[in-house]
Amino acid sequence: MTDPAQVAPVLDALVEPALLLDRAGRVALANPAARDVLGAWIVGQPHMAVLRQPALVSPVEDALAGGIEGRARITHSSGAVEAAYEVRITPLDGTVLLVFRDLTEAQAGASQRRDFVANVSHELKTPLTAIAGFIETLQGPARDDPAARGRFLAMMAQEVARMDRLVSDLLSLSRLEGQARRRPTDRLDLAALASEAAGLLRPGAEAEGVRIALDLPEAAPVQGDRDQLMQVLSNLIENAVKYGARPGRVTLTLQPVAREPVLRARAWRLEVADDGPGIAPEHVPRLTERFYRVDTGRSRAQGGTGLGLSIVKHIVNRHRGRLRIESAPGEGTRVSVILPAA
């Protein structure tokens, strides 16, 4: 018979919960993951008492009595969490090994992917429907009306631009996912980038009655990807301008942090603050989700895709930095990006 003492280190090394049952069907060994999920009391107990899962009983009996391999799917709830597992049942010389594979994460991933595809389709469908409508009008009622034709073509161009932005944002996201583990290596000056980004956006902001004020140090060396950090800066400044007050004021500050507790290193804190209406607390934690918008109509009307902050978050993660959004209704919004100093 398999000696449990010999198998123990192997079970302990497994990430998945695993149990070894003795000939009598009692739990001879439970690795730390199994004890986490099922409780520490299970060692020495009959498997029926531990698992109480009808789907497992007959494959386990078959393995104990007949040395037959098996598989079963079970759901197990501990406290408020319910998890789905696929259990592999392997006879080992009289004993039986059970290894649990957590299906919950795989299932959550699949449902996230489905949601994502549905969202993308919907976001593309909206401008497509509009364009189809304009074409129909141009072919019919507006055929001989040059003024209407000009107006409709301009609106079609706007819808096409929106689809173009959406597709570029999606490509950025998928590129970023591929790069997540590769930290950028270029040495850059974050202060220079911040002032460049503010300079590019200032004319548009001022036309809207929004002033952009800067408080930047001489230089702020970081290790980063220039285009991506520019994307972070533009999105945060654009958001502050778009969703801030009219007339309004956006402040961009950059300060050294002697020792960032989470990064455990010297860092730079970049803050973009506006004096707009702010964001209700229930929305704040969700803003970095793809396509999440507080007011979809308003964001769309401004040409937004709702992907801006999720791209920002990916970029900040890739730079080993941290993103924080603080906001309260009536008090404006402050978004901080903390990046390790080079």
Ligand X SMILES: Nc1ncnc2c1ncn2[C@@H]1O[C@H](COP(=O)(O)OP(=O)(O)OP(=O)(O)O)[C@@H](O)[C@H]1O
Q: 231 in helix, strand or coil?
A: helix
Residue number with CB closer to Mg ion (95 or 239): 239
Shortest Å, Cβ 305 to ligand X? 4
Q: What is the spatial distance between Cα 22 and Cα 195, in angstroms, rounded to a whole number?
A: 69
Q: Which does 16 bind (CB under 5 to 8 A by kind): ligand X, Mg ion, none?
A: none
**Is 248 a binder of ligand X (CB under 6 A)?**
no
Task: Return the exposure string of 29-64: e unless at least 16 CB atoms fall within 10 Å of the residue's CB, then b.
Answer: bbbebbeebbeeebbebebeebbebeebeebbbbbb
Dihedral sign computed on CA atoms, order 240, 241, 243, 248? positive
**Is 336 a binder of ligand X (CB under 6 A)?**
no
Tell me if 167 sits within 8 A of 307, measured CB to CB. no
Which one-letter amino acid corresponds to residue 67?
G
Shortest Å, Cβ 60 to ligand X? 50
Residue number with CB closer to ligand X (150 or 329): 329
Residue number with CB closer to ligand X (116 or 292): 292
Tell me if 326 sits within 8 A of 271, measured CB to CB. no
User: What residues numbered 279-308 form the site for ligand X, per CB under 6 A?
Assistant: 279, 287, 292-295, 299, 304-308
Q: What is the spatial distance between Cα 118 and Cα 18, in angstroms, rounded to a whole number?
A: 37
Residue number with CB closer to ligand X (31 or 333): 333
Residue number with CB closer to Mg ion (145 or 208): 208
Shortest Å, Cβ 171 to ligand X? 13
Shortest Å, Cβ 337 to Mg ion? 14
Dihedral sign computed on CA atoms, order 213, 215, 217, 219? negative
Shortest Å, Cβ 108 to ligand X? 22
Q: Given the rule CB under 5 A, which residues bind Mg ion?
A: 235, 239, 308
Residue number with CB closer to ligand X (125 or 286): 286
Tell me if 250 sits within 8 A of 210, measured CB to CB. yes
Residue number with CB closer to ligand X (105 or 227): 227
Shortest Å, Cβ 240 to ligand X? 5
Tell me if 60 sits within 8 A of 89, measured CB to CB. yes
Q: What is the spatial distance between Cα 35 and Cα 46, in angstroms, rounded to a whole number?
A: 15
Q: Using the rule CB under 6 A, which residue among 309, 337, 338, 341 binds ligand X?
A: 309
Shortest Å, Cβ 262 to Mg ion? 25
**Is 319 a binder of ligand X (CB under 6 A)?**
no
Q: Please enumerate in sequence order all residues whose Cβ is within 8 A of that of 330, keeping only pairs 6 or more positions apart, or say none.
A: 277, 278
Q: Which residues of this chain interact with ligand X, rule CB under 6 A? A: 235, 239-240, 243, 274, 276, 279, 287, 292-295, 299, 304-309, 333
